[in-house]
């Protein structure tokens, strides 16, 4: 039974599961033109950013997400100079991109300046003041509209949007036409990566991005990390023109880490990089079936109660 203290529970991604986190204090809560924003001081995970009542990132385990969102694609590339981040208002992905001394410019397109303002104030442990780096070009606009204009080409594109559930402004970041624009903005050896939800709860989202990236780029891969403050396993999906991050040698990855001065990782390593692309059998089968059908399979591989008629799959 939940005791009388202060607790937070996410708006569920699927019915019949809720995660409860004990909260010491609500540090800030405000409504922006785009979403409800809150920073909670949680007992287990430290300070956490919550958008529209869904946890986005938390101090204690953000490294599990941000190191694995950024370093596999950045280290697979021989010299990433120009990087685009869409979303990522907490600054955790930006901080990891800037650790690579090859980077000359990072364009970050975040729709909600209130998120950055709140995170600047309360979540320095996540962003480490990355927003202030002179290489950063921070723009407050819709990432979907930004890519439609195809303003430039990038070595790496990172789409760090929220979960495509509820009233988030992030649903457009999972629409079919979005991926063609991303592909058009990659350099010849460019790589794009997107967070693609829980492979256990929302495998249709994971499959949808995999299918859509496969349509616009010759290489597409899914890989996993673990983010306990979300609910465990979490997926990323990448697409590339010529470099396959799943096959880069560990020795090459280690040499690049040393050349770029990347040493303080607590989740990422070259061995973890390679292992992350080895998927559980049920997930690989689900992705293969979905790709063959040209749309996410509609029967959940593990939980028939979860309705996978995926409203978000906009081919
Ligand atoms: N790590 C989190 C996760 O896995 O769900 C997401 C990180 S971050 C907090 C998500 C960011 O995407 C938010 O700052 C939100 O304001 C931003 N965002 C949502 N829709 C957007 C859009 N259409 N264009 C640009 N940024 C957007």
Task: Give the distance (Å) from ligand 1 centre to CA of residue 250.
Answer: 31
Is 210:197 a contact under the CB 8 Å cutoff?
no
Reference 48, options 143, 268, 40; nearest CA is 40
Catalytic residues: 160
For the sheet with 36-42, list strands across it: 7-9, 20-31, 36-42, 46-51, 54-58
Give residue 174's pLDDT: 72
Instruction: Give the separation between CA 27 and CA 191, rounded to whole angstroms.
Output: 37
- Residue 162's pLDDT is 78
**What digits encode the pLDDT tens for the residues 129-148?**
999 999 999 999 999 999 99
What is the best residue among 31, 34, 57, 160 to mutate for testing ligand 1's pocket, by most ligand atoms within 8 Å of CB? 160
Residue-wise pLDDT for 246-303, tens only, equals: 999 999 999 999 999 999 899 999 999 999 999 999 999 999 999 999 988 888 888 8
Q: Measured between alpha carbons, how far is 173 from 180 in angstroms, rounded to an integer? A: 12
Exposure of 224 in the CB half-sphere (CA atoms within 13 A):
15
Give the pair of three-digit tokens for residue 264.
């303080």
Q: Ligand 1 in contact with 162 (CB < 6 A)?
A: yes
Q: How far is the CA of 86 from the centre of ligand 1 (A)?
A: 7
Nearest to residue 117, comparing CAs of 98, 137, 89? Answer: 89
Ligand 1 pocket: which of 50, 160, 161 to mutate (most atoms within 8 A of CB): 161
**pLDDT for residue 167:** 62
SS3 197: coil
Residue 229 beta carbon below 6 angstroms from any ligand 1 atom: no
pLDDT of residue 165: 60
**Mean pLDDT of the residues in the chain:** 91
Q: What is the Cα–Cα distance from 234 to 196, expressed in whole angstroms?
A: 8
**CB–CB of 59/24 below 8 Å?**
no
pLDDT at 9: 78
Residue 1: predicted pLDDT: 47
Whole-number Å distance, alpha carbon 143 to ligand 1 midpoint, is 9
User: Does the beta carbon of 169 sit less than 6 angstroms from any atom of ligand 1?
Assistant: yes
Q: Please indicate whether residue 142, judged by its CB atom, sits closer than 6 Å to ligand 1.
A: yes
Cα 254 to middle of ligand 1, angstroms: 30
CA–CA dist 243, 198 (Å, integer): 25
The pLDDT score that the predictor gives to residue 20 is: 87
In ligand 1, which atom is closest to the CA atom of 227?
4
Counting as low any pLDDT under 70, the low residues of the chain are 1-5, 11-15, 164-168, 307-315
- Cα separation, 70 vs 1, whole angstroms: 39
Sheet holding 136-139, edge to edge: 136-139, 105-109, 82-87, 154-160, 186-195, 232-240, 219-227
225 lines ligand 1 (CB under 6 A): no
pLDDT given for residue 108 in this prediction? 98
Q: Using CA atoms, how far apart are residues 111 and 123, in angstroms rounded to an integer?
A: 18
Ligand 1 within 6 A of CB of 91: no
């Amino acid at each position: 039974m939940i005791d009388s203290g202060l607790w937070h529970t996410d708006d569920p991604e699927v019915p019949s599961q809720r995660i409860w986190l004990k909260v010491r204090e609500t540090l800030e809560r405000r409504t922006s033109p785009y979403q409800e924003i809150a920073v909670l001081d949680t007992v287990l995970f430290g300070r956490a950013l919550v958008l529209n009542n869904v946890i986005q990132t938390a101090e204690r385990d953000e490294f599990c997400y941000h190191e694995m969102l950024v370093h596999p694609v950045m280290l697979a590339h021989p010299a990433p100079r120009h990087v685009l981040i869409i979303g990522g208002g907490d600054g955790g992905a930006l901080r990891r991109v800037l650790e690579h001394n090859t980077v000359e410019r990072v364009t970050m397109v975040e729709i909600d300046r209130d998120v950055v303002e709140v995170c600047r104030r309360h979540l320095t442990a996540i962003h480490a003041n990355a927003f202030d780096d002179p290489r950063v070009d921070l723009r407050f606009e819709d990432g979907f509209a930004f890519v439609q204009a195809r303003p430039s080409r990038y070595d790496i594109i990172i789409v760090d949007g929220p979960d495509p559930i509820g009233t988030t402004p992030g649903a457009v970041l999972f629409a079919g036409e979005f991926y063609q624009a991303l592909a058009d903005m990659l350099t010849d050896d460019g790589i794009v990566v997107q967070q693609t939800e829980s492979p256990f709860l929302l495998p249709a989202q994971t499959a949808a991005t995999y299918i859509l990236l496969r349509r616009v780029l010759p290489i597409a891969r899914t890989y996993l990390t673990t983010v306990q403050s979300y609910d465990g396993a979490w997926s990323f999906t990448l697409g590339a023109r010529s470099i396959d991050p799943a096959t880069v040698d560990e020795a090459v990855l280690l040499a690049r880490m040393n050349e770029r001065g990347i040493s303080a990782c607590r989740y990422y390593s070259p061995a973890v990089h390679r292992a992350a692309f080895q998927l559980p059998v049920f997930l690989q089968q689900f992705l293969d079936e979905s790709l063959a059908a040209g749309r996410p399979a509609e029967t959940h591989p593990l939980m028939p109660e979860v309705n996978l008629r995926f409203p978000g799959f906009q081919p």
